[in-house]
Amino acid sequence: MSTLSRDEVARVAALARIDLTPAETDRLAGELDVIVESVARVAEVATPDVPATSHPLPLSNVFRTDEPVAPLDRDEVLAQAPAAQDGKFLVPQILGEE
């Protein structure tokens, strides 16, 4: 089986916004590889007559009626936010745009 490259680990970490040191990246490449290989073994027992399964529950069409529920209390919610202003959540400057 192929092994997960260091670059792939670094890329996945970047997509998930996780800062990894080079040492962590090396260690995780090995550890994640074990996980990926373990999961890949499922493919060995899967036959064409077994459909890919994204949902294990034998359920479909579970719908909610279009009826409003009581909203959360805004002051209570904003009191738990790191910062707020004018009834809104205050978040840091958005980088990487424009």
Partner 1 sequence: MTTTSVDLVDYDDAVARFDPVIGIEVHVELGTRTKMFDGAEQSFGEEPNTQITPVSLGLPGALPAVNGTAVEYAIRIGLALNCEIAQSCRFARKNYFYPDVPKNFQTSQYDEPIAHDGYVDVELEDGTTFRVEIERAHMEEDAGKNTHVGGATGRIHGAEYSLVDYNRAGVPLVEIVTRPITGAGERAPEVARAYVQTLRDLFRALGVSEARMERGNVRADVNVSLRATPASPLGTRTETKNVNSFRSVERAVRYEIGRQAAVLDAGGAIVQETRHWHEDTGITTAGRVKSDAEDYRYFPEPDLVPVVPDRAWVEEIRAALPELPQARRRRLQGEWGYADAEMRDVVNAGAVELIEATVVAGASPAAARKWWMGELARTAKQQEVELADLPITPAQIGALQQLVDAGRINDKLARQVLEGVLAGEGDPEQVVVARGLEVVSDDGPLLEAIDAALAAQPDIAEKIRSGNLGPVGAIIGAVMKATRGQADAGRVRELVLERVQA
The nearer residue to partner 1, 1 or 59, going by C-beta atoms, is: 59
Output the six-digit token pair for 74: 């805004």
How far apart, in whole angstroms, are the C-alpha atoms of residue 69 and residue 92? 31
**Around Cβ 9, how many Cβ atoms within 10 Å?**
21
What residues between 24 and 83 interact with partner 1 by CB under 8 A?
A: 54-55, 57, 59-69, 71-72, 74, 77-78
User: The tokens of 9 are what?
Assistant: 């680990």
Say which DSSP state 86 is in.
Answer: T
Residue 45 CB, nearest distance to partner 1 (Å)?
A: 21
Site residues (vs partner 1, CB under 8 A)? 11, 14-15, 17, 54-55, 57, 59-69, 71-72, 74, 77-78, 85-94, 96-98
